[in-house]
Amino acid sequence: MHNTAISLIELGAVFFGLGILGRLAWKIGISPIPLYLVGGLAFGAGGLVPLEGIEGFTELAGEIGVVLLLLLLGLEYSAAELVTGLRRSWLAGVVDLVLNAAPGAVVAFLLGWGPVGALAMAGVTYISSSGIVAKVLGDLGRLGNRETPVVLSILVFEDLAMALYLPILTAVLAGTTLLGGFTAVGISLVVITVVLVIALRFGRYVSMVVDSPEPEVFLLRVLGAALLVAGIASQLQVSAAVGAFLLGIAISGSTAENATKLLEPLRDLFAAIFFVVFGLNTDPRSIPPVLAYAVGLAVLTTLTKLVTGWYAAKRQGIARMGRARAGAALVARGEFSIVIAGLAVAAGAVDEQLAALATAYVLLMAILGPVAARVVEPVARAVQRKVGTPATT
């Protein structure tokens, strides 16, 4: 059979399979990310039926998936919201960083992956999944709860931290010198500052450049701008993902809302391919040796996120039940953790087992997160009844 025909058949099977897995995930109330990863593991190197001949398309589609993930994340925030959230949550954000980055770094050192592996694993265990958290809060009807702004402010802090972390990680993975690393950080800080200033003072002009009354033209402009900015950012060693995130921040108002509506289906499609590609590049036989570490990290970082949310909500005067809900909402890890692991493994600067550990860890956390958010309230009420503490919200 002709190579093109085989590639089309394989791609068709991948897309159709993703549709089935996505439907199954939402039906049972979990994020589809774990199932996409499992699908990739099943059909990649060492899997049941390895796919061949579609690597070029899937690799590029995966990169576009990362760009769209970060672009839409940026569209959710205005520059003013980012600044306000940073002022409100910086101390809780620092606590979150220390508590949740440390376990990943320690495990990397224990496995002998050195400082580079430790830096990558610190990012994997640190950042919560904004997508999963937002979906769970919406499904549970908690968007109007008192603790929700606290949760969102922590997510804002994490996203800004990623805007600094990713350029540093990219520079380290590229093997730059100490001076090169400082240069990358400096460029990143300058770019972030400039974008925030532009977004605060001239955001409407950025929106006007990409806006259009015709949906087709609007989609082409926004997508084209995102890919251009991501490519330029990558050339400047700032990271393509960060470039897309900053562009999203600069687009505001109705333009941001319309862009989100138009791009969401594309984001979901390409993001699904990204997770599958990560799974395809991970040999499932490499997971058992690191599974115990993944389980240990899952248990420990579930507790550290609970502590983070509790502390942050307590600082805002929220009652105990709200503190527990805030902590549980932050448990899930997902897209960012896989993005970080993907960057590290693709650069060839870390042990290949890092991909296996990250995959197993995200599989666990993407399931544990929604479950924790659902059960925390009945569990907390049961504990309160047992100790005789009045149930408060």
Position 3 in a domain: no
Domain that holds residue 355: 10-387
Residues 330-352: tens digit of each pLDDT: 999 987 888 888 888 877 778 78
CATH label of the domain that carries residue 207: 1.20.1530.20
Mean pLDDT within 232-255? 78
Position 301 in a domain: yes
Position 318 in a domain: yes
Q: State residue 361's pLDDT score.
A: 94
> What is the domain count for the chain?
1
Q: Phi and psi of 143, rounded to 5°? A: -65, -25
Amino acid at 390: P
Position 1 in a domain: no
Residues 300-328: tens digit of each pLDDT: 999 999 999 999 999 888 988 999 999 99
Radius of gyration of the chain (CA): 21
**Could you please report the per-residue DSSP string of 40-51?**
HHHHSTTSSS--
Position 5 in a domain: no
Q: 219 near 263, Cβ under 8 Å?
A: yes
Q: State residue 182's pLDDT score.
A: 65
Q: State residue 178's pLDDT score.
A: 53
- How many of the other CB atoms lie within 10 Å of CB of 22? 17
Cα separation, 30 vs 135, in Å, equals: 10
Residues 21-64: tens digit of each pLDDT: 888 887 877 778 888 888 888 776 655 666 666 767 777 888 88
Nearest to 46 by CA among 245, 287, 259: 287
Mean pLDDT within 102-109? 95
Q: State residue 47's pLDDT score.
A: 58
Position 2 in a domain: no
Q: State residue 126's pLDDT score.
A: 95
Portion of the chain with pLDDT greater than 90, in percent = 21
What crossing angle do the helices spanning 114-126 and 353-387 adopt, rounded to 10°?
40
Q: How many helices (H) and strands (E) does the chain have?
A: 15, 0
Q: Which residues of 141-178 are buried (b: 16+ CB within 10 A; e: fewer)?
A: ebeebbbbbbbbbbbbbbbbbbbebbbbbbbbbeeeee
Cα separation, 125 vs 301, in Å, equals: 7
Position 292 in a domain: yes
Q: State residue 158's pLDDT score.
A: 87
Q: State residue 48's pLDDT score.
A: 62
Position 4 in a domain: no
Q: State residue 3's pLDDT score.
A: 75
Q: State residue 104's pLDDT score.
A: 95
Residues 165-219: tens digit of each pLDDT: 887 887 788 776 556 666 766 776 777 777 667 766 777 777 888 888 888 899 9
